[in-house]
Amino acid sequence: MTRIEPTTHKKAFKYRLYPTPPQQKDLERTLSLCRHLYNAALQERRDAYKKAGRAVGFYEQKRYLPEIRAELPEYKGVH
């Protein structure tokens, strides 16, 4: 007797957003801030590896996020 494995189906949903102009501006601003923060973190990792040959991990960088929010007020609204 052969055993039949149950199949699983993954569902995906797409949602279309229709933001108002102020919401669109806020979304673009948040995306821009996140992109700049990500690129700065990536550059920090690259520099640490090139200069010292050591890896900087996610959790090490994550510890600095409260300081970044305190020093740069534009990041206070980014969650």
Q: How confident is the model at residue 4 (pLDDT cuts 50, 70, 90)?
A: confident
For 61, what's the count of Cα atoms within 13 Å in the CB-facing half-sphere?
Answer: 15
pLDDT at 1: 63
Rounded to an integer, the average pLDDT of 48-71 is 92
Per-chain mean pLDDT for the chain: 91
Q: Which amino acid, residue 76?
A: K
The predicted model scores a pTM of 0.73
pLDDT at 66: 92
